Amino acid sequence: MILKSDINGDTAIHHAIRHGHNELALTLIREWPDLSQRVNNYNESAMYIAVMRDFDDVFKKLWDTDLSNHNGPYDDNALHAAVKNANLGYLLNGGLEENPLLISASSRGNVDIAREILMHCPDAPYCNRAGTTILHQAVIDGHVKFVDFILQTRQLDKLINIRDSKGRTALHYGVEKCNPKIVRALLSHKDIDVKVYDNLGRPAFWQLIEATDSAKSLNWNEVFMLMSKADPKATTFYVRQVAMKKITVKSKEEIKSLTATYTKTTSLVAILIATITFAVAFSLPGGYSIYHEGRPVMAGKLAFKAFLISDTLAMCSSLAVAFLCILARWEDLEFLLYYRFVINKLMWFALMATNVAFATGLYTVLARRHLWLAILICILSVCLPFLTYLMGNWPMLMLRYRLGPAFKSNLFDMP
């Protein structure tokens, strides 16, 4: 019954607020938060009515409730109600000891709310007592669109180099979060100062040292390259060396664990390829001649010879992979790194040889009567390994494209 609406679309929360039962309204919001999303037939939300009635405690509770609706009649919203009711100051400051409304909007990434606030009150407070600005908050919570909104708004772009109580700018937090989209947006601003130091005397670049958990990720490396390009004189070598030292022990354990998993999967695939190629060698395309015992029908064709060679290479390379998986020694880290490199190359070679064997085998059988189909199969089979390589390296290729000359492939050599 509590969740139902009456003939006017009003819920229990609507009635509680309208009749001044604040405690009941707070209880309903706490127990049934979904009710805060509902509007009545006049498009009035509970938040809109609370603001119109000056019920600050109910408004705060609704504001802190996720997805709480703020609509009002005739395309109005709770902010319009605050303007009409002359209590905009409280809404904007949000009890300055906590967070102003703009800070709350930035933490949620709600650009529309922020734009509406600035339209009605251009001098609305944009930071709390800790010095955290709406730009700091948007960067910390990873709201790229809100960051772009701030940087493109003339009355807000001055926040670009403002420091909080820790002396950090938004760029410090963007680098620490390893968010390349935000870092790129901040660095593109004409007034950005990459040399601002925090209270510990560290520039934004050095925040990468604190983000060693992501030091082997594409994001970490992209942020490193972006900052290197923005500040060529920065001590990039020191940052990279410290990051490498911090992740060395952890990386050793990860490599051993990942290699063990990789070995199991790779050995199964290698054995499967070896089995298939071995069996195909004795069931040749076209079969055997009935006039010459043991002689393949297609023995004189060039495509058949290519089939035999590629099938043999595929079987030998896959068997080599299978035996390497058995003989692997797990204790030595350098051996594991070399082992993974060799296994990867051999498996890649086995894949290509298997595809060539498949293509030439079918070409031998089909070329005489369906030449176009035989050629199409050969093209598709030869292209598959290259498409696989392209898909596997797509993130790296896109990173190289985005950064251009600033791309540094040696960063990915970290263990």
Q: Count the residues in the chain.
A: 415
Which tokens hold the place of 362?
């079918």
Integer Cα distance of 104 and 107 in angstroms: 5
Task: Give the contacts of 254 (CB within 8 A, at least 6 positions apart).
Answer: none
Whole-number pLDDT of residue 20:
81
**According to the model, what pLDDT value does residue 40 have?**
84
Distance CA 226, CA 402 (A): 10
Who contacts 332 (Cβ-Cβ below 8 Å, separation ≥6)?
none
Residue partners of 48: CB distance under 8 A and separation at least 6? 70, 71, 72, 76, 77, 78, 81
Contacts of 47 (CB under 8 A, 6+ apart): 36, 59, 62, 63, 68, 69, 70, 78
Query: Taking Cα atoms as reference points, which of 280, 284, 262, 270 lies closest to residue 350?
Result: 270
State the Cα torsion 220-224-226-228 to the nearest 10°: 180
Domain range annotation of the chain: 249-413
| pLDDT in the model for residue 129 | 77
68: closest CA among 34, 25, 117, 28?
34
Write phi, then psi, for 71 (nearest 5 degrees): -70, 155
Residue 115's identity, in one-letter code, is R
Helix (H) or strand (E) run with residue 137 in it: helix 134-140
Asked if 184 contacts 174 with a C-beta cutoff of 8 angstroms, the reply is no
Q: Which helix (H) or strand (E) holds 256?
A: helix 236-280
Predicted TM-score of the model (pTM) = 0.58
The three-state secondary structure class of 273 is: helix
CA atoms within 13 A on the CB side of 222: 22
Average pLDDT along the chain, 415 residues, taken 10 residues at a time: 75 82 83 81 82 77 76 70 54 53 82 82 76 90 92 86 89 89 91 86 82 66 82 68 63 67 82 86 68 64 84 90 74 68 86 88 82 86 82 74 62 49
Note whether 347 and 321 are within 8 A (CB): yes
Contact 240, 207 (CB under 8 A): no
